[in-house]
Structures are given as structure tokens and as C-alpha cells.
Structure 1
Amino acid sequence: MDRSNAVKRQLFGCQEGTHVDRIRSSIMSALKKQLKELMMDFQGLKKTWMDECKEIGYGEGDEESLPIAIQRQLETLGAQRAGLEDMLKEMKSKEDILPKLMTATGSHEDLFRKEIAKYDHICEEISQNIEAQEQLLLQIQAQNEEFASIFNLEDYKASRERIYKHIEAAIFKYREIKENINEGLKFYATLQEAITNVKQQCSDFVMTRNIQCREMIDELGIRNISINQHISPIPAEFIGIPLQKPFLEAQLELVNGSRKEYPSSGINFASSGSGLLPSTNQDLGVTPIQDQLQQFKTLVQQKHINKKQIQQSLFLFGSGTNDIFKSFYPFDTPTLTPDAYVQAMLTQSTNFVDQICKLGARRIALFSLGPVGCVPARTLLPGAPVDKCYGKMNKMVKNYNMGLENLGKTIPMKYPGCFAVYGDVYEAGQTFRANPKRYGFSDVTNACCGGGTLGGLVQCGKEGYKLCAKPNEYLFWDYFHPSEHTYKLISKALWSGTHSRIRPVNLKTLANMTLLQL
């Protein structure tokens, strides 16, 4: 009974100290007490039986009836004992043995009923509690069903399954992309390079065709006026003056006494190999354009050139080819991006023009850079193509030329009475390359004097060089410079050419313009 009670205490709501547990414990105590009393009655019956046995054994009577009487007594006692044992067994397996005990006969039945009746109200209370618990469970079940119907768990589960499938597909796609990412990047890089090359080729093709078209229009427009017009040599001859002496040569003549004054026909301040940036070819001992400007300032300050001469002179400005080419040297570490580098060149050009305008210059010609990316010397640069012009280099040239032309447009606004023209040397060079036979060229790729690939690996005059038979049929004289024939064609176009070559007017018009004298 104690073990059974211990098991019952493990159930929910029946733990030790609860109301149900106290009722059960009280009933168990009463049952134990009743069992004890029954055992005492049994002991009394046993003693009576023993006494009867003694009486039967020692009394007078039939000897054969003695075993029968003893057997009957034993059967009666056995039955009573069996009944008690059954009751004990039932008490062990069930707590509720009260009905059987009440139906059993005994001298303490009335007393037991009275004791049990004391717990009727407790049993009723337990029954009510059980009924209340059942009602509570029914309410919980109803609320749970209502909750499930509101939130529709089945739809939620179905939606969740669909989301899981989408996520699984996305993860699979991500893994697939991740596995092929290297191939994708490689393809993208190759595609970008291919697109760039196609764009460059298309741009060159369109530009070439536009040049040819304009040339044909220009030729048709002037043929009635000057069909047999011959090409004049160089700008100085157009004006009717001798070639300008280099500044240092004229200065040396003044020092040694062979000349009394600077030539009035003009002076050439140019220095071969120099550029717009002070650092360009500085190690070669060239005179940078900033020093050239200072030489001109010195002549003005020392009054070797008067104000009237300055206002009537043509100032021809062309520089930057060496700067562009040097920016691609493999042994120089670039410190600026291509765009920033071009902007630095334009800054120097702007400063130069500002200074000569302040010194009195009124007629300025700004010459663009030629197609530097097409010179034979490009073969000296790593990565430069042999079968076509160097696109990256020509792109920088175009950007600089665009800025230079815009600079010329601002001069009249900044300096009233000052006028500037823009000579498009780049377009002239590309025109010759696009239609070489028309301009008398048989070769617009190789150098006439030089060696190696395109004649650009060995400088003219150095060991291993070769000289062509007809220099006037070559666009390039050596690995870097145009031929004399090329210079003549460009000079003519700049002197008397149309708007496609020089704008807004040509040099001839600029030289004869009447400008405001300040």
C-alpha cells in the first residue's frame, strides 16, 4: 500500500502535500487500522481453533469423526484465510477497497462505515475538482481549435515549404555561380577588351571616312580657283621672310660680335626633345618651355623687341608630343592618372598663353599634337601594337587637343584684342594615313631612316640603320619625326587651309587681320 501510494504521488495534482494526497493518506491510515483489527480477529479465531483442536483431541467420541471435524475446521479456516489474503492482495493493487470491505461481514462493520462516512464530503469535493478540471481541459481544447482556425497552420506550413524550396533553389544557384565566378570574370575582362578594341577601330574608321569626305568637299570647292596651285614649302616662306634663327644661336652671335642686334624677322625658341612639363627629358639637357618663355621675357625686358613688333608677330605654339610619349616609358613609374597627366599639360599651356598675352602677343596659333600613337617608335614600348596605332596613347592626345582648342576659344574673352586659332595637326596626319596615294605617300607606317620593326627600334644614323630610296614618299622620316614632305603638306594646310584644318581662320588670314591695339 505504501508503494502504491508513492507511485500515485508521481501523478499530476497528486504530489505530496496536495489536497488529494492528504485525503488519500487519511484513507490509507484508516484502511491500515482496519486491517490491523482484522488481523487481531484472525489471531483470536486462530486461538479458538487451537482450543477446539485440543478439546477434540482429548474429549470422548468417535475416533473417525475427529479427522472429519478437523478437516472441516481447516477448510473453514482456509476459506477465511483465503478471503483475507484476497482482500490483502486487492488492497495492495487498488486503493479503493472500501466497497468490498463494506460487503464483508465482521464485528466492526458498523464502526468502519461510520469512519468511512467522515470522508464522503472529501470524495465529493474531489469529484467536483475532477469535473472542474475536465471543464477546463474542454475550454483549453476549444481555444486551441479557435487559435488554429485563425492562424490556419496548414496554409502556414504550405507557405513555409514553398519558401524552403525557393531558398534551396537560390542556394543551388549561388553555388553554381560561385563555382563559375572565375570563368565569368575572365569572360567579362576579355569582353571588355574586345569591346574597347572594336570601339577604337570603329572610331578610327568613322574619323577616316569623315576626313576623306571633308577633303573631297574642300578640293571640289577650291579647284575652280586654283587647280594648278603648287604646295609652298614652309610658313616662313609663305610670309616672305627667311627661316628664324634659334635663340641661343642669335645670342651667341651677339656675344662674339658677329651680330649687333636680334633678327627682326623672328626668333625660334624651340628646343628639340622638350615638353610642357619641366621634368620631360630633363636629363637630356633640353630647354623646357618655361625657360623658353623666360628667354622671350628677357628680350622684352631688355627692349630687344619692341611692343609694335610683338603685336604684329605670329606666335606659333606647339608642344606636348614628348610629354605624351614619355608617360608610357616602362622605366618611369607613373604618379598621375592619364586624365590628370593631360590636365597638368593643359595647365602649363594655359600659363604659357597667359604670359605671352600679358607681354603683348595678339596673334597666336595653337597647334595640336599629331597622332603620336602611330609613330614607329611605339615599338619601343611594351604592350604597344605593331599592326595598328597605339590606342591608349592617341586617346591622351585627343583629350589634350580638345582642351587646347577650348583654351584658344577663351583667349579673346580674357584678353580683348588678342586672337587665337587652332591648327588640327592630328586630323591632317590621320588624313594622310587614310588616303596615302592622294598625298603622294607610298608608306605611312615605317620610318624612312631607321632599323628594326617599322624602323622604330634603331635611331637614324645609329649602327644598323637603313635609309629608304624615296624619303618624300614616306610619312615618317625617322622613328619619331615626320618627313619633310609631311611637314610641307601640314604647313600649307595651316597657312591657307579650310576650317577642317585650322579654325576659326587660317594663318594667312590671321597674319593680315587688323586687331585692336592696346
Structure 2
Amino acid sequence: MEPAATSSIRSLLYIMLLLYSSLPIATATSQGDESRQANNKHVAVFVFGDSLFDPGNNNYLYVSIEGKANFTPYGESLFEYPTGRFCDGRTVPDFAATYLNLPLWEPYLQPGSHNFSKGANFASAGAGVLEESSPDRLYSQKQLKYFKEVANLLKQQLGDAEAKKILADAIYLSSFGGVDYMTFIRSISNPTELQQREHVNKVIGNFTDVIKEIYEMGGRKFAFQNVGPLGCTLRMKQEYDLSGGACVEVLQEIASLHNSLLSNVTTKLQSQLSGFDYVIFDFFNSLKDMINYPTKYGFNVSEIACCGIGSRRGFECGRVKQYELCSGPNEYVFFDGGHQSEHANSILSNFLWNGGSDFTWPISMKQLYELNSTIPIEILSKDKLLFSM
């Protein structure tokens, strides 16, 4: 028989060995659970905007053919049929949905059942912030009205608490302003600096009201795509008969002013509104860089569209019999005169989601997604803020 002291020491060592060997297993299991929770995190997305984000809502509006893309060759690269997207395939919100493990967008106006717990896309081609810019489209206040209807439906289906949680965790992705400024310069061909600033202030002011209403309804995470380089689109270059890399400067100036004010407004909102978080995707400079240095991004052509008519194929993609169509959309920055190809959208959406460039600030959409939102007591206690119509 061994001494009692030796037996006690061996027992103690055995217990210590068991405890030590269990530590890596417990740590690994804990990390695995956290990883699974992150991967399974469900966040809804509500999309607002114009033709850059429209998944086909205009298919269900009584508007002219210029406001629709429900005919070939739109959709040819991915869907193999036209969906109503102004693209040969997916748009930026589609790629964002993929990053979030959500299905590709269906139009909000499409008849049939919808699972709004995953969000909704209200974007409408030709839609502006201001009603006068596009009275027959889903301008910003109409899209906001539809969002309020969705919020009420979620309340009825899931109950107050779950509906409020979905809205607080959701990301609100938007693209507005371009239509307001295109309409503006067509009504005033040579606006003064004062007229430009007054109009931009009006657009930004109305858009800020929309943001605040979404916030009052429980929204906390906002992703803004700013206004693109409107004067450098092929449609505008062809319309103004510009040569080489020249752009319509008045449109560039207005877009830049809008983007500067949007940055200022979001900074102020974050300081004024508790829990307000946001990301701005610099669509203006990222697309402009793509146009100026196409080979840097894997493109061969940036000054002619894949589809359309005219010197830059800037108009009439698919709408007239004699339109031209390229054989490889992935080689082109623009699919038609005013909208990017699917390949370009995939690169732009990567900037939005992953950040890590000068084109996304103050955080990336991925970081926005990972933030935990809290529902303030005043929102929990005041149904009228969340579900007012």
C-alpha cells in the first residue's frame, strides 16, 4: 500500500489535470456558439430609393415605358428574363441581401404573400425625394407610407414586442436625390448658385424628415448611398454632346453639394438622436473612379454603355428595334446610359459592405449589421410613435 500523503498528492494532480484539460474544450465550444449566433443573426432590411434600387415596383405602376425595365435585354446575365431591374442582373441591394443571407428582392407592390420580417424593397425608378420631381412614382413620402403599413402588419402578425425588435435591429438602406436634380436642371437649364443651394436644401430637408419619421418608428441603423456622379453618366454626356471624359459640371456641383450636406446632416442626427447609427457609401467617388480608371477594376469599357443607341449608347436600351447590345456586359461599367452593370454593382456593394476604403464611412454596413440596437423606453411605451399612420 502507498502512503496516504502520496495518494492524496496523486488525487490532487489528477483533479488538476482534468480541470486543465477541460479548459480548451470549454473555450472552443463557447467560441463556436458565439460564431454560430453571429452567422445566424437575423436582421431585416428595408430599401428605399430610385431606379438604382428598384427590383421591379414600377412594373405595377401606371407609368410610361421610360419608367420600366420589364423587357429584354434587362436581366439577361443572371435572371435570363426581365425583372424590372435597370441592370443585366443584380443591383446593390441584391448583393447586400446576399451578404445578409436574405433572398433577392421581390417588389413590394408584387401581388401575393410577403415575409416582411426579412424586410421589403419600396424603391421605384424615377422616384425623387420631392413629390413634384416624380408625382406618378413612389416618391419618398409614398415609400414611407408603405413602410408604415408594413410596420403595422408586423405588429398584427407578430405582436408589439417582436415587431419593435425587428424594426430596431433592421437596416434602412436608401438611394435618393438623383431624380430631384435631373428634374431640376431640365426645368432650370442654367441655375444660379443660390438656386442650386436652395433646391439642395429643400431635398435634404425633406429627406431628413423621412429619416426622423423612420427613427420615431423605431429605426436605428441607416445605410445611405449618396448621389452618384450624375454629370458623368453616359446618358447626360450624350445629351449634352460632350467629348472624352468631360462631364456636365452643373450636375456634378449639385451632386457634390447634396453629398456634403448629407454628411453634415447624418453627423448631427447621430449627436441628437440616441442610438442613431449610420454608414454613408460614397457612390459619387467610387463610380467616378471606376469610370476614370476602368482597368483598375477589371473593366474594358467605361465611356460606352453595353446597351442602347447613340454615340455612347446612352438611350433607349431595349425600347427600340435598332438598339445595340454588347456581347459581354461584365466588361462594361454601364449596362445602359444611367445604370451600372451587374459586375459594377458587385464591386460597389463590396465597398458598401466591407468598407476598408475611402468610399465608406464612418463604419461599414457589415459593422452596422453587427451593432446591437436597444429599443428606448419611450418607444416601448408609445405605440403611436411606432405604428402611427
Same fold by TM (over 0.5)? yes
- Which one of the candidate residues 326, 329, 342 is aligned to 2:183? 326
Amino acid corresponding to residue 354 of structure 1 in structure 2: K
Give the structure 1 partner of residue 89 of structure 2.
Answer: none
Give matches, 1:98-137, under 5 Å.
Answer: none
Q: What does residue 121 of structure 2 align with?
A: 268
Letter in 2 for 1:326: T
For CA contacts below 8 A with separation 6 or more, give which structure has more relative contact order: 2
* One-letter amino acid matched to 1:448: C
Matched, 1:468 2:330: no
- How far did 1:233 drift? 7.4
Distance (whole Å) between structure 2 residues aligned to residue 450 and residue 337 of structure 1: 33
| 1:373 paired residue among 222, 226, 231 | 231
Partner of 1:25: none
Deviations 1:286-320 (A, max 9, x none): 11111110111122234257101001111001111
Write the distance in 2 (CA, Å) between the matches of 1:241 and 1:457: 33
Number of residue-to-residue matches in the alignment: 277
Separation (CA, whole Å) in 2 of partners of 1:276 and 1:351:
10
CA deviation after TM superposition for structure 1 residue 334, in Å: 7.0
Any idea what SS the aligned residue of 2:304 has?
Answer: strand
Query: Deviation at 1:504?
Result: 0.9
Q: 1:237 aligns with which of 98, 101, 104?
A: 98
Secondary structure class of the residue paired with 1:377:
helix
Residue 275 of structure 1 aligns with an amino acid whose one-letter code is G
**Partner of residue 149, structure 2:** 298
Distance apart, 1:264 and its partner CA = 1.9
Letter in 1 for 2:307: C
Q: Which residue of the partner structure matches residue 309 of structure 1?
A: 166
Q: Which runs of 5+ in 1 are unaligned?
A: 1-231, 254-258
Give 1:514's aligned residue. Answer: 372
Tell me, in whole angstroms, the C-alpha distance in 2 between the residues paired with 1:398 and 1:463.
37
What's the secondary structure of 2:302's corresponding residue?
A: strand
Confirm or deny: 8 A CA contact 1:379 1:453 kept in the other structure: no
Q: Which residue identity does 2:119 align to in structure 1?
A: G
Q: Which has the higher helix share?
A: 1
- Name 1:402's counterpart in structure 2: 260
Task: Kindly report which structure 2 residues correspond to 1:21-420, keeping only aligned pairs within 5 A, or say none.
Answer: 234-249=95-110, 252-253=111-112, 259=113, 262-282=115-135, 285-302=136-153, 303=155, 306-329=163-186, 337-379=195-237, 381=239, 383=240, 385-387=242-244, 388-420=246-278
TM superposition shift of 1:380: 5.6
Cα offsets for 1:215-258 (capped at 9, x unmatched): xxxxxxxxxxxxxxxxx971111111112322211xx31xxxxx
Shift of 1:441: 0.9
Letter of the aligned partner of 2:140 in structure 1? I
Residues of 2 paired with 1:290 and 1:386: CA distance? 38
Q: Assess if the C-alpha contact under 8 Å between 1:363 and 1:418 holds in 2.
A: yes
Deviation at 1:490, TM superposition (A): 0.5
Distance 2:183 2:269 in 1: 29
Bigger mean CA deviation after superposition, 333-342 or 478-487: 333-342
Whole-angstrom distance in 1 between the partners of 2:134 and 2:368:
33
> 1:349 deviation in Å?
1.3
Contact 2:164 2:375 in 1 (8 A): no
Aligned counterpart, 2:8: none
Distance in 2 (alpha carbons) for counterparts of 1:330 and 1:295: 29
In the alignment, the residues of structure 1 paired with residue 103 and residue 142 of structure 2 have an alpha-carbon distance, to the nearest angstrom, of 25
Amino acid in structure 2 at the alignment position of 1:370: G
TM-score (norm 1): 0.51
CA distance, structure 2, for counterparts of residue 348 and residue 408 of structure 1 = 14
Q: Flag as ranges the 4+ runs of structure 1 deviating above 4 A.
A: 330-336
Aligned counterpart, 1:444: 302
Closer, same or farther: CA 438–334 of 1 in aligned 2, 3 Å? closer
Q: Deviations over 1:420-452 (max 9, x none)?
A: 111111111122123211211111111110011
- The code of the aligned residue for 1:242 comes to P
Please name the residue that 1:481 is paired with.
Answer: 339
- Quote the Cα distance in structure 1 between the aligned partners of 2:325 and 2:229: 23
Q: How has the CA–CA distance of structure 1 residues 503 and 291 changed in structure 2, closer, same or farther, with 3 Å as cutoff?
A: same
- Whether the 8 Å CA contact 2:231–2:237 is kept in 1: the answer is no
Deviation at 1:418, TM superposition (A): 1.7
CA root-mean-square deviation: 2.4
The offset of 1:514, in angstroms, is: 2.0
Q: Report deviation, 1:464.
A: 2.2
Q: Choose 1 or 2 for highest CA Rg.
A: 1
For residues 187-225 of structure 1, the C-alpha deviation after alignment (integer angstroms, 9 at most, x for no partner) is xxxxxxxxxxxxxxxxxxxxxxxxxxxxxxxxxxxxxxx
2:283 and 2:250 map into 1 onto residues whose CA distance is 18
| Kept after mapping to 2: 8 A contact 1:241/1:265 | yes
Query: What amino acid is the match of 2:214?
Result: I
Judged with a 3 Å threshold, the aligned counterparts in structure 2 of structure 1 residues 457 and 364 are, in CA distance, closer, same or farther, namely closer
